[in-house]
Structure 1
Amino acid sequence: MKLFAAALLAAAALASPALAEPQPKPRSVTATGEGSISAAPDLAIVSSGVVTSAPGAADALKANAEAMTKVFAAAKKAGIEDRDVATSGLSVQPQYDYGDGQRPRAPKLTGYEARNMVTIRVRQIDKAGGLVDALVAAGSNQIEGFSFEISDRDEKLDAARGEAVKDARRKAELYAAAAGAKLGQALSIEEAGDVGEPARPFAMRAKAMDAAPTPIAKGEQELTARVTVRWKLED
């Protein structure tokens, strides 16, 4: 038995180096590609609302509710569906007078401020400027944001992704040819985290409605995809 055990140990010792040897990695080349698609937005997002002040919280909220009712009616008259209007913020907060700051004193309560904000999706994008004017004329004194969106953004990004892979392959083929090799199968594909560039909202100042609608320029948005692909190199 002792001789048998020793023989097993010797065989394991001879076999272990072979098992421990790492398998050679296939030769590969890595390239990063980028694809971009330009598209005109077809949705406008308006953030609008009313801010009111009164000595009491209930009075401030009541005045705000009356004004917001008119704002909702103006949006409906402009053809905005109920599903495209959503409350995004509602608050009632005390307002204090802290003095001129030269002499320390306790803050003095001066009244209350009520704020009600809504986010409106405009599907007829050419009417966005007129909607802003209608909201302000109805009583909205806050236009906190305005941005554009592309409804089929994911589909357009898929096209950009395809272009990004083609760009990566073009570069990889150049590298492979320069190294005297051919491009084999793709071993891995990784997409950058910052895919696309959605439009950022920008603020607008509420003003009285003029004779002409507020001009709005939608322009075009550029959707960009970036991928990093590793290919196997073949002789």
Structure 2
Amino acid sequence: MRPAPILLPLAALILALGLAAGPAAAAETAPPRQIVVEGRGEVQRTPDFATVSMGVTSEAATAAEALAGNTAAMTEVFAALAAAGIEPRDIRTTEVSLAPRWHHPEDRRSEPRIVGFTASNQVAVRVRELAKLGAVLDAVVQGGANRLGGVSFGLSDEAEALAEARRRAVADALERAQLYASAAGVGLGRVTTITESGGFGIPRPLQRGDMMLAAEAAPVPVAEGELTISAGVSIVFELE
């Protein structure tokens, strides 16, 4: 006598196991309960130094004359900086150039021709005593500088200010997360991810552009104001 077939009970067992595993698999693939919050932090500090871009531009009929005149004028500027108390370590050359000046006739059939040469020498000067900044600018103009590219202010201890801005950014993100969780009626869990975001650091220069300065210019009034150092952070919290 043949044994009774067992295919039907076996199929029923497989189906039952599949139904039992369904909720567990769904729970494993469910998205995590979390909230992502952005935080911003800012601190204000009074700057303690300034960086000034300045120099001399000279024109002459020949390249040699333009370069010689520029060199003589820059020597006077360096002397004026030294007399104003600026140390050599605080003076850095940023550009030296020599280029022809062209005349373009209105008659297009005529070729452009060189009518002279322009020599330029630019330096970046750090002024560590801001009370002397206006006097330094006045001194270099009297010494022969005829170009001012810009003035920017900075902090010697920028790292400390930025660290405080970052701490405030984290505190801001935590406060926002607690507010959202409370309003939604859920609990705020542990932090899973912290990512620095957005721009941070010392703001832009006070002045931009390249200005020609007359030798008879009056003493330059300067106001340093305050610097704002900012930081941003993105934090992921679990929800309970």
TM over 0.5: yes
Residue aligned with 1:181, SS: coil
Taking structure 2 as the reference length, the TM-score comes to: 0.83
Q: Tell me how far apart the structure 2 counterparts of residues 119 and 104 of structure 1 sit (CA, whole Å).
A: 44
Q: Is the 8 A contact 1:133 1:208 kept in 2?
A: no
* Structure 1 residues not aligned, in runs of 5+: 1-13
Partner of 1:175: 180
Deviations 1:73-107 (A, max 9, x none): 111111111111000000110111113x4644211
Q: Tell me how far apart the structure 1 counterparts of residues 97 and 217 of structure 2 sit (CA, whole Å).
A: 30
Partner of 1:208: 215
Residue aligned with 2:75, SS: helix
Greater Cα offset, 166-175 or 195-204 = 195-204
Identity value in percent: 41
How far does residue 24 in structure 1 lie from its aligned partner after superposition? 3.9
Which residue of 180, 189, 192 corresponds with 2:194? 189
Partner of 1:120: 125
Q: Is the 8 A contact 2:141 2:217 kept in 1?
A: no
* Structure 2 residues not aligned, in runs of 5+: 1-16
Residue aligned with 1:195, SS: strand
Taking structure 1 as the reference length, the TM-score comes to: 0.85
Partner of 2:7: none
Matches within 5 A, 1:155-174: 155-174=160-179
Partner of 2:96: 90
Number of residue pairs the alignment of both structures matches: 219
Q: Is the 8 A contact 2:39 2:173 kept in 1?
A: yes
Q: Tell me how far apart the structure 2 counterparts of residues 173 and 66 of structure 1 sit (CA, whole Å).
A: 66
Deviations 1:97-153 (A, max 9, x none): 113x46442111101110000000000011111101100101111111111112222
Q: Tell me how far apart the structure 1 counterparts of residues 151 and 109 of structure 2 sit (CA, whole Å).
A: 41
Letter in 2 for 1:45: T
Partner of 2:156: 151
Partner of 2:9: none
Alpha-carbon RMSD across the aligned residues, in angstroms, is 2.4
Q: Is the 8 A contact 2:35 2:177 kept in 1?
A: yes
Which residue of 111, 121, 139 corresponds with 2:144? 139
Greater Cα offset, 220-229 or 116-125 = 220-229
Which residue of 42, 53, 74 corresponds with 1:47? 53
Partner of 2:75: 69
Q: Is the 8 A contact 1:80 1:122 kept in 2?
A: yes
Letter in 2 for 1:189: I
How far does residue 210 in structure 1 lie from its aligned partner after superposition? 5.6
Q: Tell me how far apart the structure 2 counterparts of residues 186 and 37 of structure 1 sit (CA, whole Å).
A: 25
Q: Is the 8 A contact 2:198 2:231 kept in 1?
A: no
Change over 3 Å in CA distance of 1:175–1:193 after alignment to 2: closer
Letter in 2 for 1:171: R
Partner of 1:227: 233
Check if 1:58 corresponds to 2:42.
Answer: no
Q: Tell me how far apart the structure 1 counterparts of residues 238 and 224 of structure 2 sit (CA, whole Å).
A: 44
Check if 1:106 corresponds to 2:111.
Answer: yes
Letter in 1 for 2:118: E
How far does residue 186 in structure 1 lie from its aligned partner after superposition? 0.9
